[in-house]
Amino acid sequence: MKNKIFRILFVAITGILLLSGGTVSWFIFGPQVRTTDHKSVSLDLPTGSSFEAVFDTLQNHDLIRHPVIFRLLAARKHYPAHIRSGHYNITDKTSYNSLINLLRAGRQVPVTVTFTHQRSVGQMAGVISRQLEFDSIALMKLIRDPEICRDLGFDTLTLPVIFIPNTYEFYWNTSALGFLKRMKQEYDKFWIPERRKAAEEIGLTPVKVVILASIVEEETWHPDEMPAIAGVYLNRLKKGIRLQADPTIKYAVGNVSKHRILTKDLQVDSPYNTYRHAGLPPGPITIPSVQAIDAVLNADKHQYLYFCAKDDFSGYHYFSRTLREHNRYAYRYRQALNKNKVYH
């Protein structure tokens, strides 16, 4: 009788233990993460985050339905001591165990970073900072640091040439310095032998090509005009004629939105004033598009030395071989500005 009772108790206790162990195992290894509409959830964990900050982020995304179990397992796996920042994708039906392993190992996914032609380095920094963890101030501080620029092979005026507009993959927590180093690598890859040869044939270095492209970019709204405008500037450079590029005046006076260049503007004391200084300015005035860069490398071969905006405000230009012809077009354009009361 005693043996029978003992066997019954043994089976009952064993069953309870197995059931309890199975329940705990299910909580740990079973599908606990539930995402909205069964889709993956992306979240960013900033550098220096505490475990509580990570826990709050997970809860804010409604990923942790059993906080006590998650906390116990996180402590058991020493996750609070191994927080890793980054951009993570959490898939539906991920177990707590797998989730903690993912975060603890720092298995983040890259993000796509895109920037196009920007009218200033500051604008570009702002665009980038909205896509990666670092802020625009941190990036601008490095761009203006002579030592950093020198280490990358440039100076503070020419460093912006390394920013080639495109779409790239980065880890979200890449540092501002890491971003600059990657951009230098992308710049080196962009300047393939064919492009370097084309630059050499027009008598420019890659840096000077980008500087000229930044001017061309600001001269026209129409990409199909870029090669012709680039051809004019190359002709002037070859003949030793000052570029007299209005966009450089806008840059020099600090107003890229000016609609009309005034005589007083042409007197501004700046190395970017191409009415007063021969050759190219010391650095790019914008972050030019790849289209503008290639327009310089494949500039039209013609005899034009001048161009003037058309008086119909279409954004297109008249091209001239002689100053006399150019002055006629310039007069018509000034008259159109006056008629439309555009005085500055």
Instruction: Between 214 and 343, name the one with better pLDDT.
Output: 214
pLDDT attached to residue 134: 97
**What pLDDT does residue 329 have?**
94
Kindly tell me if the per-residue pLDDT of 124 is higher than 70: yes
What pLDDT shows up at residue 212? 98
| Domain boundaries 27-105, corresponding CATH code | 3.30.1490.480
Report the pLDDT averaged over residues 261-277.
93
Rounded to an integer, the average pLDDT of 173-200 is 98
Give the least confident one: 120-129, 201-210, 294-303, 328-337: 328-337
Please provide the average confidence, as pLDDT, over all residues in the chain.
90
Instruction: List pLDDT tens digits, range 142-160.
Output: 999 999 999 999 999 999 9
% pLDDT > 90, the chain:
76
Chain segment 46-92, per-residue pLDDT in tens: 999 999 999 999 999 888 888 989 999 999 999 999 999 999 999 88
The more confident residue out of 203 and 315 is 203
Q: Identify the pLDDT of residue 37.
A: 63
Is residue 32 scored above 80 in pLDDT? no
Residue intervals in the chain for CATH 3.30.1490.480: 27-105
Would you say residue 1 has pLDDT above 90? no
Model pLDDT for residues 7-28, shown as the tens digit of each residue: 444 344 444 434 444 455 555 5
Three-class SS of residue 320? Answer: strand
Please classify residue 68 by burial: count the beta carbons closer than 10 Å to its beta carbon, then call 0-12 exposed, 13-18 middle and 19+ buried.
exposed
Q: Per the structure block, which two tokens stand in for 77?
A: 């796996």
343 band by pLDDT with thresholds 50, 70 and 90: low
Q: Mind listing the pLDDT tens digit for each residue in 229-245?
A: 999 999 999 999 999 99
**pLDDT-derived band at 121, boundaries 50, 70, 90:** very high
Q: What pLDDT shows up at residue 20? A: 47
